[in-house]
Chain A
């Protein structure tokens, strides 16, 4: 009985650690709602650690192909990933129309992009650290960019 209790405690500890590690970089959140008939509703939550860890585990050639495709944008991505963390709570762009609203901001160290139209709502939230990790990994996979 005591052995089971100890095992349960150990398991709880491991679970706590795993949970803490998984979420310590934050969560990538993508919400897309099309408010029309047969419109799609996508609600996507993913721990940011999965992306940065996944890039280490991804096949090298796939990563190289991806980095070649984004090569023209890598310098921009690299600079943005370095600069954005210096401005953790800032509204960079806010456009309000009669029925539309677009907002690009950083909130608590995350890049938030919101676009609202009468029939479509898009919210994207990405931790800035994840953008930097992705930029670093893509850069490492495509040296000389």
Chain B
């Protein structure tokens, strides 16, 4: 009888310790699955990715993956320098004598079309607005022409020159609207992020040159591909 009581005490102790452990286990099981397993493309699941890769085979890479929902909630908590409450204050609406807000406002209210087209031996620049997006494309051909002039017969050099600097930026106009939605002299970054998230999977920035490739894009995966 006494030995049974001892056994009961032991079992009861074990049961109690299990009860203590269980909540944390249950919490672990209830934690949401990684976004990589949930491919739903709802606004809440959108991620902004930044990837910088070195093209010189040194293996240098930068990968940043931030859920937009988290950024929208965390940014207002950062109050440093020009960033306050998720808004960037622009001194007198001027950046080195460039009125950024006025430019953005002008672009926003303009009709679709090609705004800037520059074609030269060294550079090609195209700034256009189309179907709700602002496109900025810059191609720097300077090294291509230099190398072509030096040794036009060298095919290897030609291949190398094909990796001249190429910049492609695509900005949804509703993001511009959102950025300008706050008061004067301010850019509302949080509103801009919300607008970005609502825009679905988008490649925002792509830069390729001889040394690096840079990509900034939005999708519903929590890992860069």
Contact present for A20 and B67 (CB under 8 Å): no
- Measured in the bound complex, the distance between the Cα atoms of B21 and A122 in whole Å is 30
Closest to A94 in B: B63
Q: Count of B residues near A, CB < 8 Å?
A: 42
Interface SS majority for chain B = helix
Contact present for B28 and A76 (CB under 8 Å): no
Check A53 for interface membership: any CB of B closer than 8 A. no
Contact present for B10 and A88 (CB under 8 Å): no
For residues 78 through 129 of chain A, which have their beta carbon under 8 Å from a beta carbon of chain B?
78-80, 82-98, 108-109
Contact present for B13 and A9 (CB under 8 Å): yes
CB distance from B100 to the nearest CB of A (A): 27
Q: Count of A residues near B, CB < 8 Å?
A: 41
Contact present for B66 and A25 (CB under 8 Å): no
Q: How many interface contacts (CB-CB < 8 Å) are there between A and B?
A: 110
Contact present for A98 and B67 (CB under 8 Å): no
User: Could you say which residues of chain A place their CB within 8 Å of the CB of B222?
Assistant: 87, 90
Check B14 for interface membership: any CB of A closer than 8 A. yes
User: Could you say which residues of chain B place their CB within 8 Å of the CB of A98?
Assistant: 58-60
Show the binding face of B for A, using Cβ within 8 Å: 2-3, 5-6, 9-10, 12-14, 16-18, 20-21, 23-24, 27-28, 31-32, 34-35, 58-67, 69-70, 73-74, 76-79, 222-223
Show the binding face of A for B, using Cβ within 8 Å: 2, 5-6, 9-10, 12-14, 16-17, 19-21, 24-26, 72, 75-76, 78-80, 82-98, 108-109
